[in-house]
Amino acid sequence: MKPVLCVLLAFTLAVAAAQQTYYVGIGIEDVTGPAADVNMMGYAHPGQTSRGIHTRQYSRAFIFCDDADGNNCEVFVVVDFAMGATAINLGVLKRLETLYGNRYTEKNVVICGTHTHSAPAGFLQYFVFDVTSQGFIHDSYDNFVEGIFQSIRMAHESIAPSKVYYNSGELVGANINRSPYAYEQNPLNERNDYGSDVDTTMTVLKITGTDDTDRGLISFFPVHPVSMNNTNRLLSSDNKGYASYLIEMEMNPGTFHGQGEFVAAFANTNQGDVSPNTKGAFCLDTGEECDRITSTCNGRTSLCAGVGPGKDMFESTKIIGEKQATKAKELYDDATERINGPVGFVHQHVDMTNYEVDLGGGQTGTTCKAAFGYSFAAGATDGAGFFPFTQAIVIYHGFCGLCLKPFRVIKKV
């Protein structure tokens, strides 16, 4: 069976002046996983195993329906873990089916991760993701499935007539491009379309009751939750989870975190190579900037690390989280544009091994089977990979070739 990429697009809504009422449900549930001796998902570092808790992780679920009968609904879930996965989806959908039949299916449920690198690993069905966790870990998987299911159940039980508003604005100083040299290899005319080498736009959905009671917030902003680096041994929701914590505590006075009615989710967007370590990448031994092309210090990736803006990873997590929370609350408070139009959703299966791409100028290309590039093994400035791999390797040589030769299959046409 050929590899398939499953893409589930969240609901699309048109911004208009009409005053439409949606039926919205909101739920939150703790999904903090095994806090001892379980590998963390994200950095692919076998030695990074859990030894306690920095901040708890949550699943935040939102259900948007056109009417009270639930004839046209979409479920959007933001989870404080590395990423969604087919195995997680199947487990959650199986639980949902026992209560709601075919109301919530793969067609209208999207589960996405904030992409924190400090939550448990071992819940993915793909071999490469389970290598560093030494296999599938049922405690991680079962905990995530149960927590996500419960957050959706709570959202279903809280469905009520609501108003949804939209707002967006610029948040500068909360993200940088961790691979600027690679970005500069893109065509100049394409780069000229943008004012920066990272996206600085934050989009916020504001959800209120028909009586204007505050109900929930969804923020979309691109930045990796890797303020907690790969030396961290504490489970953490990182900067995005801290942003949620700040707003939820403000909007739910007198309650324990995770038990208030107002829910604030900080979803990720186009976060590729977008780092929260805003001071840049420096050499741990000399304090000088890392090599701009290879992201190394004296040829070694392990000595190059992204830092800042705080004095340590805990302070950096707070600072980047505060920046996102402050901007999101500002956009929430200032949101005046009501959303109008039917709830829409698309679930598409795409064969990414044989997909035709328009290259422009009358030329087309076709994708092929996936493969890791050599520089993949080098990691990134937010988390170094393995020596002697470095950034910018495009052809194998020496030790690299020797290591990978047994795995290479060459086909000549």
| Helix pair angle (313-334, 238-251), 10° resolution | 50
Q: Is 236 tagged catalytic?
A: no
Decide: 339 and 13 in contact? Cβ < 8 Å.
yes
| Active-site residue (options: 118, 179, 244, 275) | 275
Residue 117 is assigned to a ligand binding site: no
Q: Which long-range contacts (CB under 8 A, 24 or more apart) does 352-357 make?
A: 352/3, 352/4, 352/5, 353/2, 353/3, 354/2
Q: Which among 123, 165, 146 is positioned nearest to 335, based on CA atoms? A: 165
Give the 3-state secondary structure of residue 403: helix
Residue 91 makes CB contacts below 8 A (sequence gap 6+) with 141, 145, 149
Residue 115 among known ligand-binding residues: yes
CA–CA dist 62, 74 (Å, integer)? 8
Which of these, 115, 326, 119, lies nearest to 219 by C-alpha position? Answer: 326
Q: Please enumerate, by residue number, every residue annotated as part of a binding site for Zn(2+).
A: 115, 224
Q: List residues with catalytic annotation.
A: 275
Q: Which residues are annotated as a binding site?
A: 115, 224
